[in-house]
Structure 1
Amino acid sequence: MSEIHIVRDYPHSPVKVWRAMTDPDLIPYWTSTGKGARAVGFQPVAGNRFQFVAKPMPGWRGIVDCEVLEVRERELLRYTWIGAPGETPSHVRYQLEPTPTGTRFTYHHTGFTGIGGFAMAKLLGSVRTRMLTVGVPALLAELDETGALRPDTTLRLTQPR
């Protein structure tokens, strides 16, 4: 079984990183380095069903169906990921740990099976790496200490909300 495992250290508080990762209004800013997905209906509450909605492309309808499985505010978010109707869910985990200089963020996506799963893990892995290396730091730099977007931000969304 293939998986994606990415660890990044951010020089920002867990409060700020958590907000960047879980505020539906902020998510499109860091996902814009991928396909600019919006988290439609997302709330960090166990049992919440939501969708990531992005621009469709050949072979993909542009929608990922998800359900929140577990939440520990500022520490852990786990949810299912279904990229196509009838697909077996894979599982995503965001883990945040305070460090002396900020927050260690771990992204873990498991449950990819077969050759198609291997290919999908490779594709998603490179997109997620770009999001977590480019998109998240750019967003974090534009947030105040409470995690709110600064009114004078220069960040722009690539797709309308």
Structure 2
Amino acid sequence: MGKGIHLERTYPYPREQVWKALTNKEAIRKWFTEHDLTKNLDELQKGDSFTFISKPQGNWDGKMYCELMESNKPHKLAYTFGGDGFKQPSVVTWELIEEGEGTKLILDHKGFDGFKGFFLRFMLQRGWKGMLKSTVFEEEIEKNR
């Protein structure tokens, strides 16, 4: 697997609040994208599949096909993340670590190979950075008090 994305951000909220914003299907629709989830991410079982749905661009149909790999509430969430641009699915892992009265949210996104992988990593890194800094994501965290 090629080089991945590693991002960290600390929020001044308890881990359970951050977890809810990260896994709640309605919150995901607001801070990330449309999807076909009928349950919250932390209610899925290992191996369950779901799709994130964005605006199609060029030859990409706008769909990211995912499969839950791990859900350890409220510590860790991992799922595959693949679509037209991936030779094989990449892996998105979220870890939540208590830091004082706040929570450090760690995102690792791995599995980018070749030139196409380099381009995808560049594009996705920009998107993930924007999400972590998003006031919409933070508003969703605040709603879970």
> TM-score, with normalisation over the residues of structure 2?
0.89
Match of 2:92 in 1: 92
Deviation at 1:86, TM superposition (A): 7.3
Which structure dedicates a bigger proportion of its chain to helix? 2
Paired residue total: 139
State the distance in 1 between where 2:144 and 2:112 align: 37
Match of 2:26 in 1: 25
What amino acid maps onto 2:17 in structure 1?
K
Indicate conservation of the 8 Å contact 1:98/1:104, yes or no: yes
Residue deviations 1:52-78 (CA, integer Å, cap 9, x gap): 011212232111000001110100011
Matched, 1:5 2:6: yes
> TM-score, with normalisation over the residues of structure 1?
0.80
Matched, 1:39 2:35: yes
Deviation at 1:15, TM superposition (A): 0.9
Residue deviations 1:72-131 (CA, integer Å, cap 9, x gap): 010001110112287311111000011103110001000100111011101100111001
Give percent identity, aligned residues only.
Answer: 29
Indicate conservation of the 8 Å contact 1:30/1:132, yes or no: no
Match of 1:110 in 2: 110
Residue deviations 1:22-55 (CA, integer Å, cap 9, x gap): 1111102112xxxxx1231253331110000112
Unaligned runs of 5+ in 2: none
Unaligned runs of 5+ in 1: 32-36, 146-161
* Aligned CA-pair RMSD: 1.6
Indicate conservation of the 8 Å contact 2:60/2:85, yes or no: no
Match of 2:127 in 1: 127
